[in-house]
Amino acid sequence: MCFASVHAQDTVADDATSIDAQILSAYVDNDPQQWDAVIDHLKQHATDTETQLKLGHVAYTAVGTAFGKRDMDMAAKYLEVAEEALENVLDADDKHPSAHGLMSGIAGMGIALDESKAMTLGMASNRHARKALQYGEEDPVALAMAASQQIYTPRQWGGDPDRGLELIGQSVALFEAMDSPESDWRYYESLILMGEAYTKVEQREAARAVYLKVLSMQPELAYVKYYLLPSLDQ
């Protein structure tokens, strides 16, 4: 292999490492401006399925920041970016487990934006969650998103927080079997969802332990530090 090829590969690797660090920073700070910068970068480089998936996941995660800011226009903007990117992934691979899982989450967030679509989007969320599990038994993102669907869907519509807790436990275990999960924002997403699942099933001390674990690795993770952990004592 020639020097130029080696240098090009190193540059790609460096770019991937850099953008992952930026994503983690945006996630820790819960900062819309950082999300915008990351999303703009990924849009410019989303020429392959892997980058389209990352763009979809990042935009989906940014919707949570928009909801926290109570900015529904921002949430709708991010949701549109996420849906388009993930549809591109599924066009290339209609059995992609992470993409199905994230599409399940997008449908759920769509309900929060427009409750009149609850029936249609609820069915779509269920369908994508089932496919995420069907195709992604060893995919931590697919498991996390299927868990989210179980945790936040009302029981009368098929939700089951205990099943969600089981699934998110599997997701966290898969992340923790990887090298350096603490550098991956998706690991913290799964841990936070585990804490929320424990809260749903009224195991507040277990939730507290999870949130403290997150803060031991990311002491300034805003959503945990300023909202989730204090809310356990309210």
Q: What is the pLDDT of residues 94-141, one digit of tens each?
A: 999 999 999 999 999 999 999 999 999 999 999 999 999 999 999 999
Tens of pLDDT, residues 135-148 = 999 999 999 999 99
The predicted structure's pLDDT at residue 157: 83
The strand ranges marked E within 58-199 are none
Alpha-carbon gap, residue 65 to 30, rounded angstroms: 6
The predicted structure's pLDDT at residue 201: 95
Nearest to 39 by CA among 13, 57, 21, 15: 57
Alpha-carbon gap, residue 67 to 47, rounded angstroms: 29
Average pLDDT over residues 18-23: 93
pLDDT at 151 over 70: yes
DSSP-derived secondary structure letter, 136: -
pLDDT at 5 over 50: no
pLDDT at 204 over 70: yes
The predicted structure's pLDDT at residue 179: 94
* Banded model confidence at residue 15, pLDDT cuts 50, 70, 90: low
